């Protein structure tokens, strides 16, 4: 939950602490930054509440973190703390997607396209999570979810999460012209593609064997291809 809530805490802190230090001339449009806060608030509360009601409330352990702990030579609460701090560091890095907006002289009109992209990301991620949740309620543990958005991507929730942060980065870029903000969705993709996604897929391969391997071969990992559907 703190992964999602941490971003909300960061942007509210930035807005409350740093923004008042700038003169009104530097931030001429009052609703530009609050709009960004609203988007991140919506994303954060949606994800954190989903994790609470579907996992923490039922004492569900995330298999990815369990796999990480299983690879440690010693069981150590200190290592758990270091992992927690590392995620905090990643939050700070991903915050590059909105921090430059604080230091921008805003004198342009309101931009709607980045907001629409971010909203699509929130809705798509929520729909992906819901479809997988409903599937797991009725399916056996050795079956693979291929319904809805999961027919086009093995991790559609990852795709829409990246899309959300791309929208946030685009929103900041169009006002600040700082291209570095796009490092945020690129970093997030790298984390999902090579760390969390790889751990999750290795676990699925161990549990489901050749059926999941066939799913990997027929369905893209993150970025969906609408006309490429898994029929296996």
Residue 163 and residue 97 in contact, taking contact as beta carbons nearer than 8 Å? no
Q: Phi first, then psi: what are they for 27, rounded to 5°?
A: -135, 80
**Domain residues of the chain, as ranges?**
2-136+155-215
Inter-CA distances, 191 with 37, 67, 68, 142, 184, Å: 24, 16, 14, 26, 11
Round to whole Å and give the CA distance between 165 and 156.
Answer: 14
Burial of 31 (0-12, 13-18, 19+ CB in 10 A): exposed
Per-residue pLDDT band at 77 (split at 50, 70, 90): confident
pLDDT digits 0-9 by tens, 15-34: 888 766 664 445 445 678 88
Three-state secondary structure call for residue 65: helix
Can you give the pTM of this predicted structure? 0.90
Asked if pLDDT for residue 227 goes beyond 60, the answer is no
Q: Name the DSSP letter for residue 226.
A: T
Torsion sign over Cα 98, 100, 101, 102: positive
**Which residues, in sequence order, are CB contacts of 95 under 8 Å at separation 6+?**
7, 10, 11, 14, 184
How far, in Å, CA of 158 to CA of 160, rounded?
6
User: What's the pLDDT tens digit per position in 144-189?
Assistant: 999 999 999 999 999 999 999 999 999 999 988 999 999 999 999 9
CB 13 within 8 A of CB 64: no
Section 74-87 average pLDDT: 83
Q: What is the predicted pLDDT for the residue at 61?
A: 79
């Amino acid at each position: 939950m703190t992964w999602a809530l941490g971003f909300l805490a960061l942007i509210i802190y930035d807005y409350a602490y740093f923004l008042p230090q700038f003169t009104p001339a530097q931030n001429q449009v009052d609703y530009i930054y609050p709009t960004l806060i609203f988007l991140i608030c919506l994303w954060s509360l949606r994800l954190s509440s989903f994790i609470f009601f579907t996992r923490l409330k039922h004492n569900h352990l995330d298999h990815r973190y369990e796999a990480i702990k299983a690879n440690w030579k010693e069981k150590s609460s200190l290592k758990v703390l270091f992992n927690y701090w590392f995620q905090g560091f990643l939050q700070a890095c991903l915050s590059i997607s909105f921090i430059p907006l604080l230091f921008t002289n805003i004198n342009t009109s309101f931009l709607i396209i980045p907001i629409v992209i971010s909203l699509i990301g929130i809705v798509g991620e929520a729909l992906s999570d819901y479809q997988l949740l409903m599937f797991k309620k009725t399916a056996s543990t050795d079956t693979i979810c291929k319904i809805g958005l999961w027919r086009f991507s093995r991790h559609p929730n990852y795709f829409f999460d990246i899309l959300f942060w791309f929208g946030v980065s685009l929103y900041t870029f169009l006002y600040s012209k700082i291209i570095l903000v796009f490092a945020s969705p690129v970093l997030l993709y790298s984390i999902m593609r090579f760390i969390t996604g790889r751990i999750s897929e290795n676990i699925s391969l161990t549990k489901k064997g050749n059926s999941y391997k066939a799913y990997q071969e027929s369905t893209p990992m993150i970025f969906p291809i609408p006309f490429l559907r898994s029929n296996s």
